[in-house]
Chains A and B, each alone.
Chain A
């Protein structure tokens, strides 16, 4: 018997392979550089980039819930757009009540009004997510076809209910004083609200990453995505976990709805299903189930949409579809495929 122990040899994969894995991360800066080369004018480039990032991050907020829900439970929710619309409507109602606060020049009052509106609409959409999951999604676990149909039905009903409660007309509201106007960076005018949206989006992404990577519940969620049955066998109630994730996802969609509504200053009952097109493109580009992929995909979509709207307005409508096609040709499962074929 020799005393030599077998040392595990951990081979670092060659640099090129590691780089390949990380490649999607570089897509956003690469795209920004390309955009700069194509636009030429630094100040309009800066304006467009910030606008693109803001749009992308708002889409990310709405899409993240959808992608985690899919990853965890293999449930695709075509009714996700309903939460966006409802969130926006609830938020606008609160802001309309607090119109004294939003019109005052006091920044703190402005922000408090927005904060309250966001909070209430997130609670409302979270609860709606609970009801949606229990009544509509739960009976059709594991059946994709029925899921698509039933959640689509849920979307129809939710949209009609918005008409019942808020009437058929679109709502207008102006942003609170503090969030109006823009600041000048060099020659570039950047809307304040876009900066705020970027800030919230990045903060949310970091928080989500932290929760998923470093907390127990995040660990369970990631384990559930990887192998739900095993997590169940270890004694965790994956259904309850899923319900929580679903509610959080719905609440985030509500938050995204309020932010998008404040961005456009006009909301309609079918705004959710319109944004869902972009959300789906983002989720597909990112790879179903992946939060990082979703983040990168959202930024790409936001930037591409804004650059092409400036460079070639005619093409901008199909530019995001083209982006999706290109990404899928390169990686047929999306940037970071997380979900194994279940």
Chain B
């Protein structure tokens, strides 16, 4: 049953299994284990980013394509849902059509970019997506009549998903069972389903062919697989799933703006998460996203302490200031590309045997 659910792709390492279990159980019971708004926010962010990072890994790790437009697809999903909610009112129907519209538009964009630039040279794709994505981000912040510009959109979601809605009067294990909790579980289960779907995809014949194309496109073509078709399908698939992740974020935050969905910083975050977690394995996304977001939320506090401790040394204290945490992650990123390109997961799997 479990093997079937994981599509036969077991973690294949005892330590990894334990880590994954800890993460999944913590996320599943996050509202009860870690009460408090900040930790619930962090848990929901982790769930959403696991999906986002896994969908990026589908492209980077499994198909060997570097894209810088992933935030664009993420943003399309988020803005689709946000616009639907703000234009047709806070109903489930608007969530549904907004999500679908966002996903369809993301798919069309991905198809266009893929057919256009994947034909020529894979490296073109990276540059073209970078250009298109940044133009898109600028466009969104300029079209303020539709998107709210830099300020973004604030909107209402169905009342059942807000803290105002109480499901049970009494507290359960000291936790209020309200709409916010329902929203969290909506995010959690949607993320889990999307993740399992992706696991299914990469372990299907399609996924195997994708890996073959990644490892040797020429040979794959010679065997008779249409390389362009496979690459483009992978792009479209990952774009659609990224759009779904965007919709989840839009529902959870009740706010959508360029800074939370489209910015280059988010793209870099995704890259770091994939590489640190491990490319070419979806479990890497779970580990990468969790480690990164925990670091983002809590490491900065630690660095603040370090800054105060070193405040008597003028230069060092600026190096360890909390705002400079990306510097250290950048260094970590470069080192991990060199020394363990298969990331944490690859390390754990290798140390097993």
Contact = CB atoms under 8 A, between A and B. Distances in A.
A178 B215 CA distance: 58
B124 interface: yes
B324 interface: yes
Nearest to B326: A160
A144 interface: yes
A290 interface: no
A145 B326 contact: no
A325 B116 contact: yes
Interface in B101-124: 116-117, 119-124
B132 A146 contact: no
A288 B135 CA distance: 21
A160 B324 contact: yes
Contacts of A276: 130
A85 to B, nearest CB: 14
Interface stretch (B183-191, B199-207, B330-338): B330-338
A94 to B, nearest CB: 21
Contacts of A325: 116
A318 interface: yes
Nearest to A325: B116
A288 B318 CA distance: 40
Contacts of B131: 277, 280-281, 284, 320-321, 324
Contacts of A110: none
Contacts, number: 100
B278 to A, nearest CB: 13
B220 to A, nearest CB: 16
A321 B127 contact: no
A114 interface: no
Contacts of B60: 145
Given A273-B264, A283-B127, A160 B330 contact: yes
Contacts of B130: 276-277, 280
Interface in B266-303: 268, 271, 275
Interface of A: 76, 78, 136, 139-140, 144-146, 148-150, 152-154, 156-157, 160-161, 163-164, 168, 270, 273-274, 276-277, 280-281, 283-284, 288, 314, 317-318, 320-321, 324-325, 328, 332-333, 341
23 contacts: A76-B126, A139-B338, A140-B338, A148-B123, A150-B334, A156-B268, A156-B327, A157-B330, A160-B324, A163-B323, A163-B327, A274-B134, A277-B131, A277-B134, A283-B127, A284-B128, A284-B131, A288-B121, A317-B135, A318-B135, A321-B131, A321-B132, A332-B119
- Which 5 pairs of residues, A with B, have the shortest CB-CB distance? A160-B327, A156-B330, A157-B330, A153-B334, A280-B127
